[in-house]
Amino acid sequence: MARLKEQIRFDDPRIQAQLKNILGTSETVYHALVPFQMGYEASGRADVYVFENSTRGYTYVTGDLIGEEQKESNIGNYELMICHKDKKTDWGIHLISELAYYTLQASINSGETMALEGGPYDSGKQSIKHLLFYKYSDITIEEKKLGLMLLLGITQKEYEWIQENSYELLVEKLKEKNVYPFTDLFRKSIV
């Protein structure tokens, strides 16, 4: 996998200092059994860092994407992020760890969506049917545009609503209802 020329990586102290200001300190790391650099075909996955209480819950962030040549995105080179209120909820850890390789093959931009229906994270019973990709935060190192891309679960009604309105307005509504930045697979629609 090709790397950025400056070799800026997730564990760079400058990135860690900015992450500490944004999310707090990560005390726990879920290391993939097979390292990301081994490749998807070898079952490699991204490591996931846990930031507890950063959002009154649990925030999970991949740690292998900054420095990789992702397909161009409107937020620059980024790590994936998902938030849960309950520590017992761990499906998001697996999702972002597995989805990491997709960011090297396809452009993902803030405001785009991905269907969950029919995939491994679809129980058929949940109300969340799509993921909304949303720029959570910018990180800048040596004029390099980096960031955190939040995966935010949305219902079918919310998905249809953003087709007529905008994802920014939906995010504002989710903030007003204290849903943002969390993904709960079984929450009720806010629209």
> Strand, helix or coil at 29?
strand
How large is the C-alpha radius of gyration of the chain?
Answer: 16
d(CA 83, CA 180): 9
Report yes or no on 65 lying in a domain.
yes
Report yes or no on 33 lying in a domain.
yes
For residues 28-36, average pLDDT: 90
Is residue 53 over pLDDT 80? Answer: no
Give the rounded percent of residues in the chain with a pLDDT score beyond 90: 60
> Sheet harboring 58-62: ordered strands across?
28-30, 48-52, 58-62, 77-84, 144-155, 128-141, 113-115
- Residue 113, both tokens: 């969506």
- Residue 153, both tokens: 């679960």
pTM, two decimals, is: 0.91
Q: pLDDT by residue (tens digit) across 83-125?
A: 998 877 888 999 999 999 999 999 999 999 999 877 667 777 8
d(CA 45, CA 37): 8
How many structural domains comprise the chain?
1
Report yes or no on 49 lying in a domain.
yes
Report yes or no on 156 lying in a domain.
yes
User: Contact 80/103 with Cβ under 8 angstroms?
Assistant: yes
pLDDT of residue 54: 61
Report yes or no on 43 lying in a domain.
yes
Residues of the domain holding 37: 13-176
Report yes or no on 191 lying in a domain.
no
Distances (CA, A) of 86 to 99, 112, 164: 21, 26, 32
Q: One-letter amino acid identity for 114?
A: M
d(CA 43, CA 59): 24
Is residue 75 over pLDDT 80? Answer: yes
Q: One-letter amino acid identity for 185?
A: L
Report yes or no on 86 lying in a domain.
yes
Q: One-letter amino acid identity for 105?
A: Q
Report yes or no on 8 lying in a domain.
no
Q: pLDDT by residue (tens digit) across 148-165?
A: 999 999 999 999 999 999
Cis? peptide before 13, omega within 30° of 0:
no
Nearest Cα to Cα of residue 145 among 64, 61, 77: 77
Helical segments of the chain, H only? 13-23, 91-99, 102-105, 156-164, 167-176
